[in-house]
Amino acid sequence: MSESPLLAVRRLSVHYPLPRWLPWRPKLQARAVDGINFNLDAGETLGVVGESGCGKSSLARALAGLQPISGGAVHFRGRDLARLGKKDWRLLRRDIQLVFQDPLASLNPRHTVAKIIEQPLIALLPELDPAERGRRVAAILERVGLEPALLRSRPKELSGGQCQRVGLARALVVGPQLLICDEPVSALDVSIQAQIINLLAELQRERNLAILFIAHDLAIVRQLCQRVLVMYAGRVMEQGSREPLFARPVHPYTQALIRAVPGQGLPAAEGSEGETPDPALPMLGCAFRSRCPIADDYCGRVTPALRRTGDGLDHYAACHFSAPELSELADTQPNGVPVPA
């Protein structure tokens, strides 16, 4: 790991204002992302996992400048993205690109493939002449595995896999350093998913790309990502290197996610009782306590901080029972685990 990460996120929060139906009622905000921290180095892939509504897409949009940051800091190559205006953000667009979840909806249906891929060059690299733009469009189209004949096609004439390759080409044609992928393969068939994942891995090695990869499918995350960040209700539950986290998950929520994936070496998942917390209400204690099998009163009073587990320097969990001396007790005594001082 490098001493100075390409991307450093500190206490990042993203809040959405909620409608106030009565004028005397207080203003409420939904906390989609609630004070998370992580680093991302050049050439590294960080997987972000969690169930729907946990804040993954809000995190992606905030890092790409499409959603205002409510609090905290996001440093990219030393610059705080939270303090940038529209003019400064425009200069960074060539370095930070986003690949959207729906490959067809993210492409302009009226434009040809050639125009879709060329537009970022026109907007972000105006110094290029038309001939150079055409050369770059043809080169990136070939690199993502599409035939030159498709340059004259429109999105409705393409398959889902071809549309996603066009989306990748559009993001990569300006040579970004950070690629944010918001569930880029969730709408594709399994065979096409494998092709896109292999293509991303190849492009990362060739270009030393940093990739933030958001997904529901933990099997894909385990194949592609070097590190994993687990989110729940806008907070980080656990993060660390891929193999220790998958082999020995510490947080009960991470354990539940991995148990739901066949062939991961853990017993089958049982149904989790309880409700997810309301993002508009103040959240005290652990966000997962209402569904956690080992939670007690202390978990409802004190918010657990991310702290290092006994699995190495790069494995952290936000659980009061994540200390090495308590991990075995948490497995065997779910109703009577002693609370750390």
User: What tokens does 33 get?
Assistant: 């992302």
Question: What one-character-per-residue DSSP string does 229-259 give?
Answer: EEEETTEEEEEEEHHHHHHS--SHHHHHHHH
User: What tokens does 257 get?
Assistant: 């996610």
Integer Cα distance of 190 and 131 in angstroms: 38
SS3 82: helix
pLDDT surpassing 50 at residue 282: yes
pLDDT surpassing 60 at residue 144: yes
> pLDDT tens digit string along 24-45?
667 788 899 999 999 999 999 9
pLDDT surpassing 60 at residue 339: no
Integer Cα distance of 8 and 213 in angstroms: 16
Q: What is the pLDDT of residue 331?
A: 40
pLDDT higher for 112 or 102? Answer: 112
Q: What is the pLDDT of residue 222?
A: 92
What is the band of 264 on the pLDDT scale with cuts at 50, 70, 90?
A: low
SS3 67: coil
- Half-sphere exposure of residue 140, counting CA atoms within 13 Å on the CB side? 25
- Contact status, residue 69 vs residue 150, Cβ threshold 8 Å: no
Q: Is the pTM of this model over 0.85?
A: yes
pLDDT surpassing 60 at residue 324: no
> How many percent of the chain have pLDDT more than 70?
88
Q: What is the pLDDT of residue 142?
A: 93
Q: What is the pLDDT of residue 112?
A: 96
- Half-sphere exposure of residue 279, counting CA atoms within 13 Å on the CB side? 19
What is the band of 280 on the pLDDT scale with cuts at 50, 70, 90?
A: confident
Q: What is the rounded average pLDDT of the residues 134-146?
A: 94
Q: Which amino acid is present at 149?
A: A
> pLDDT tens digit string along 65-84?
999 999 999 999 989 998 88
Integer Cα distance of 308 and 154 in angstroms: 50
Q: What is the pLDDT of residue 24?
A: 64
Tokens 């953000």 map to which residue?
89
pLDDT surpassing 70 at residue 123: yes
Q: What is the rounded average pLDDT of the residues 208-228?
A: 93
Integer Cα distance of 157 and 42 in angstroms: 36
- The sheet with strand 227-232 has its strands ordered as 96-99, 178-182, 210-214, 45-49, 227-232, 235-241, 315-317, 307-308
pLDDT surpassing 60 at residue 340: no
What is the band of 334 on the pLDDT scale with cuts at 50, 70, 90?
A: very low
Integer Cα distance of 139 and 206 in angstroms: 14
Beta strands at 307-308 and 315-317: parallel, antiparallel or unpaired? antiparallel
Tokens 């729940």 map to which residue?
232
| Measured distance between the N- and C-terminal CA atoms of the chain, rounded to whole angstroms | 33
Stated length of the chain: 341
Q: What is the rounded average pLDDT of the residues 192-212?
A: 92
> How many percent of the chain have pLDDT more than 90?
61
| Phi, psi (degrees; rounded to nearest 5) at 71 | -165, 160
What is the band of 330 on the pLDDT scale with cuts at 50, 70, 90?
A: very low
pLDDT surpassing 60 at residue 314: yes
pLDDT surpassing 50 at residue 13: yes
Mean of all residue pLDDT scores within the chain: 86
Q: What is the rounded average pLDDT of the residues 43-49?
A: 96
pLDDT surpassing 80 at residue 15: yes
Nearest to 101 by CA among 160, 18, 33: 160
User: What tokens does 95 get?
Assistant: 């370095």
Nearest to 31 by CA among 300, 318, 281: 281
Integer Cα distance of 116 and 140 in angstroms: 12
